[in-house]
Amino acid sequence: MTTSKGRGAPKAGFGNGGEIHQTAVAPDARITTNHGVPVSDNQNSLKAGRRGPTLLEDFVLREKIQHFDHERIPERIVHARGSAAHGYFELTESLSDFTSAKILTEVGAKTELFTRFSTVAGGAGSVDTPRDVRGFAVKFYTKEGNWDLVGNNIPVFFIQDAIKFPDLIHAVKMEADRGYPQAASAHDTFWDFIGLMPEATHMIMWAMSDRTIPRSLRMMEGFGVNTFRLLNDKDEATLVKFHWRPKLGTQSTCWDEAVKIAGADPDYHRRDLHEAIAAGNFPEWEFGVQLLSQKQADALPFDILDATKLIPEELVPIRFIGRMVLNRNPDNFFAETEQVAFLPTNMPPGIDVSEDPLLQGRLFSYQDTQLSRLGTVNFHQIPINKAKGCPFQNQQRDGQMQTQVFTGRANYEPNSLGEAGEDSGPHEDPKGGFRTFALPMEETKIRLRSESFADHYSQARLFFQSQTDIERAHIASAFVFELSKVVIEHVRLQILANLRNVDEALAKRVADGMNLDLPKASAPAVQPKAMKASPALRIVGKYPGTLKGRAVGILVSDGADGALIDAVRTAVEGEGGTIKIVAPKIGGVTLKGGARLKADGQLAGTPSVLFDAVAIVLSETGCEALLTEAAAIDFVRDAFGHLKAIGFSPEAKPLLDKSGVVVDAGVVTLGAKADAFMKPARTRQWGREPDVRSLA
């Protein structure tokens, strides 16, 4: 009998039972297309010159991205977990000097829109609060056709060329052999890829910052990421970056808080957005642009065609020209949120693309993805995708799921089957139709990255050194957490070697956090340059001084003082915040004096991680009963550990003591007007953090 020990590894080909067995790929094997053609360059798409647009003839790029786009059906490959809302855009300042697009020139006009927020790495059934980039996609139903501004809550991206996108997502998704982790980047394949792609360093600094654990979808910034062009009536071009700035301010959670929210309410962000809109607290964002001429762009110390770079606001200020208001929840999640299809190729006349090689690949990939996911070339006829501000009309016919009934004989253009032999049907519009910028090109076709893309560390250093000390500690701690989940040691060391090019102190903090010696710094293609710090890149210290849009939880018991509860409610709701009553049992409590108070949540299922600040209003007997209740102790302890303000009635002090709460500026006794509580409740108590948490 032949034992398994004596057998060789199965070879490629047909084995027993006709099954196909394939061995592991040899370490020195060369990459080929799916049809066996060897690939000479797997890092760069084929462009018309070093900084020119990507060419359609690049079959290596097309095959790689097309195969990637069709890998999963029907869920989105990325951005599968999404939440959305209807609303409108209102222009407040015209850009008529720069563009002919009516949506950017007609002041006061309101344009209907649909906005979808999403996580990137997880599947549709994953949780809302992992450390992850968030998608920020807006579909404007303009008078000149749909405009899809498809971006993220971070202004830069991991890679410079779209040909690397399948590799990036393969690396960050669940590991191929074991199917985990889900919706997480703390694993070997992701960090192996990042360590070998220095161009991702700037983005990974943002990913390790608090930007990727947002408090709410309503409190995220949005960015178009890529560089676009505006064209005016004279076909003069202006380069542009698009920005969304939340009126509620940009706010994030603590990492421990985000983890616990995932367990307490996996739909936390989705619920928060839906409930805010349902209550009439409509989220709002300012819409801004950074405008610059080609000459100004050429003078910058980086290439704006490089999606791993941002333009600091101190160099080119953001000009705010409009606002977005989300005022209606979807009627049906599948029909709208799930079936909406965003395409970067959807642009009205007056807006155009740049030669950014990441954007150039997106122009192909998004359309191709929708064909796979929605199963038909007619996905534009689904109501949520249909052009509403103007009719759509052309000679395209038939196809799967065709819902329109066309009349007439002619389905081609030009034709002469109209009255009196005249051409019948829609025509091209040379004057008012979409125009492409006339970019001069006289270069050799080439697969090569422009030298102007070679600086991978200067802006990563700029980002880190622009942060407050609090945010730097959070970034370092995030690296420690993520890399501590990495099993393969050389992967951790490669990241540390790259971090030495960003900031020596950061690399040392991360190494110390893992009890590792610092490796030799990796050799950068271009030595990092010092750049002036950009305070605009911070979050801490920029929150609005109000509780508007935020939530305060009040833990109550039988016999609690209703006057104190009313004082907190009046103060919080007076600033536009919301109150949630948390009781030991969902039926509520009987207050001192006999009045009944309805509960919004039961203590065991409504922890303090769901609130921005908490108040503890108990009676003596109520407090005594909660001293042996773990959920009550965790409610208070977590609020303190997550740096939240705590207001308390004198009778609740024993519960605070048992929870390890030390009275500080953010822990105050509740009074008749709750004024002392309101001041710390408007922000985090950052000064408390060193006393409750070890950071790198």
SS (H, E, C) 351-390: EEECCCHHHHHHHHHHHHHHHHHHCCCCHHHCCCCCCCCC
Q: What are phi and psi of 205, to 5 degrees?
A: -65, -40
Q: Which of 513, 515, 521 is nearest to 482 (CA)?
A: 513
Tell me the C-alpha distance between 402 and 109, whole Å: 33
- 44 among known catalytic residues: no
The CATH number for 628's domain is: 3.40.50.880
Tell me the C-alpha distance between 301 and 321, whole Å: 27
For the stretch 45-101, pLDDT in tens is 999 999 999 998 998 899 889 888 877 658 898 999 999 999 999 999 999 999 999
pLDDT at 396: 82
Q: Which of 334, 366, 381 is the last residue of a domain?
A: 381
Residues 341 and 379: beta-carbon distance below 8 Å = yes
Q: How many CB atoms lie within 10 A of CB 67?
A: 12
Element (H, E) at 188: helix 188-196
Give the helix ranges, DSSP H, for 526-658: 562-574, 620-626, 630-641, 653-658
pTM for the whole structure: 0.91
In a domain, 459, yes or no: no
Confidence of residue 394 (pLDDT cuts 50, 70, 90): confident
Residue-range definition of the domain harbouring residue 177: 76-381
Q: How many CB atoms lie within 10 A of CB 229?
A: 21
Element (H, E) at 505: helix 504-514
Inform me whether the pLDDT recorded for 239 exceeds 80: yes
Burial of 380 per CB tally in 10 Å (0-12, 13-18, 19+) = middle
Beta-carbon contacts of 398 under 8 Å, excluding residues fewer than 6 positions away, are none
Tell me the C-alpha distance between 363 and 45, whole Å: 14
In a domain, 2, yes or no: no
Residues 638 and 582: beta-carbon distance below 8 Å = no
In a domain, 62, yes or no: no
Q: Which of 44, 79, 146, 226 is catalytic?
A: 79
What does the mean pLDDT of the chain come to? 92
Angle at 36 (CA atoms; ends 34, 38), nearest 5 degrees: 110
Q: Which of 381, 397, 428 is the last residue of a domain?
A: 381
In a domain, 28, yes or no: no
Q: What are phi and psi of 511, to 5 degrees?
A: -60, -45
Q: What are phi and psi of 541, to 5 degrees?
A: 90, 0
List residues bridging with 238 in a β-sheet. Answer: 230
DSSP assignment of 584-597 equals SSTT-EEPTTS-EE
Say which DSSP state 121 is in. S
Q: What is the mean pLDDT of the segment spanning 197-201?
A: 98
Q: What does each C-alpha distance from 409 to 391, 401, 406, 425 come to in angstroms? A: 21, 21, 9, 11
Domain count, the chain: 2
Inform me whether the pLDDT recorded for 12 exceeds 70: no
Alpha-carbon 128 to chain mean position: 11
Pairing verdict, β 13-14 and 284-292: unpaired
Tell me the C-alpha distance between 604 and 583, whole Å: 9
Inform me whether the pLDDT recorded for 356 exceeds 70: yes
Of 658 and 25, the one with more pLDDT: 658
List residues bridging with 320 in a β-sheet. Answer: 288
Burial 82-120 (b: 16+ CB within 10 A, else e): bbbbbbbbebeeebbebbbbbbbbeeeeebebbbbbbbb
In a domain, 535, yes or no: no
List residues bridging with 102 in a β-sheet. Answer: none
For tokens 């010696």, name the residue.
517
Count of H-run helices and E-run strands, the chain: 18, 22
Confidence of residue 420 (pLDDT cuts 50, 70, 90): low
Inform me whether the pLDDT recorded for 17 exceeds 60: no
pLDDT at 25: 57
Residues 355 and 305: beta-carbon distance below 8 Å = yes
Q: Which of 121, 126, 139, 147 is nearest to 84 (CA)?
A: 139
Confidence of residue 11 (pLDDT cuts 50, 70, 90): very low
Tell me the C-alpha distance between 332 and 410, whole Å: 37
Q: Which of 44, 146, 152, 329 is catalytic?
A: 152
In a domain, 134, yes or no: yes
Of 6 and 239, the one with more pLDDT: 239
pLDDT at 24: 56
- 153 among known catalytic residues: no
For the stretch 95-139, pLDDT in tens is 999 999 999 999 999 999 999 999 999 999 999 999 999 999 999
The CATH number for 276's domain is: 2.40.180.10
Beta-carbon contacts of 504 under 8 Å, excluding residues fewer than 6 positions away, are none
Peptide bond into 654 cis (omega under 30): no
Confidence of residue 13 (pLDDT cuts 50, 70, 90): very low
In a domain, 296, yes or no: yes
Alpha-carbon 81 to chain mean position: 11
In a domain, 521, yes or no: no
Q: Classify 426 as helix, strand or coil.
A: coil
Alpha-carbon 249 to chain mean position: 16
Tell me the C-alpha distance between 260 and 89, whole Å: 35
Residues 350 and 100: beta-carbon distance below 8 Å = yes
For the stretch 497-555, pLDDT in tens is 999 999 999 999 999 999 999 999 999 999 999 999 999 999 998 888 899 999 999 99
Q: Which of 338, 359, 381 is the last residue of a domain?
A: 381
DSSP assignment of 290-334 equals EEE-HHHHHHSSS-TT-TT----TTTS--EEEEEEEEEE--S-II
Inform me whether the pLDDT recorded for 21 exceeds 50: no
Confidence of residue 39 (pLDDT cuts 50, 70, 90): confident
Element (H, E) at 616: strand 613-617
Residues 386 and 380: beta-carbon distance below 8 Å = yes
